[in-house]
Amino acid sequence: MSSAISLDKGNQTLPNITAEERVDWAIESFPGDIVLSTSFGIQSAVLLHMVGTRKPRLPVIFVDTGYLFPETYRFADRLTRELNLDLRVYSPLKTAAHQEALLGKRWEGDISDLEAFNRDNKVEPMNRALQEIGATGWISGLRRSQGQSRSDRPFVELQHKTYKIYPILDWSDRDVYQYLTKHDLPYHPLWEQGYVSVGDWHSTQKLGEGMTEAETRFGGRKRECGLHELTGDQNFQI
């Protein structure tokens, strides 16, 4: 990306173009230095397909905490084969069994325990992936409708000096459905069982009556696991 292009410039441009054009913008802005992340969640096939058709074999980072649903692993295997993904799997430095033996089930503790669990199992592996791959650009599938913490996100933002681009940020559930249907792509298998967001099995629940999507994660105590919580200088220019 040219030093003359700022976050403001990107956020003036991206709201006025299509999701596909936003992907093109990201690829052109960070040639050779951009990745896509996926959780193989409910809607993940959208961006995996959209990015893959425009930039085949772009590195796809998948953080495997060791606590994912069996359906998630099978879904990941299916999409990796069908979409010919260049999947880069990153795991925590200590296994789930090792962590539980030393620290217990931290997701059952207070908010500081939960945040420490997320740092070790999600944030650290992602940061390690970005560093090892050498990514300066990161495409992610966040949408504003997924919760209050995402409702005012810009299309481009800076996180630890990595530029994050959200091509489907303004998409509705209907937009997701239409794209999946048009391209004959699947939802995550647990969608049909009432899940609207899928993460670790111990911190995810079905959408119940009167619940918001954000409340289906971490018992409603948190929406973000740390991967999309900003720190650092948001006005840094490259």
Active site amino acids:
225
How many angstroms separate the CA atoms of 178 and 172, rounded? Answer: 10
- Structure tokens given for 54: 């425009």
How many angstroms separate the CA atoms of 114 and 224, rounded? Answer: 11
Q: Do 50 and 26 form a contact (C-beta atoms < 8 A)?
A: no
Look-up of token digits 């993904």: 85
- Structure tokens given for 234: 């948001």
- Structure tokens given for 69: 């649903």
CA angle, 66 then 68 then 122, to 5°: 60
6-15 long-range CB contacts below 8 Å, 24 or more apart?
6/237, 7/154, 7/156, 7/157, 7/158, 7/163, 7/234, 7/235, 7/237, 10/155, 10/156, 10/165, 11/154, 11/155, 11/156, 14/155, 14/156, 14/165, 15/155, 15/170
- Structure tokens given for 81: 């084969």
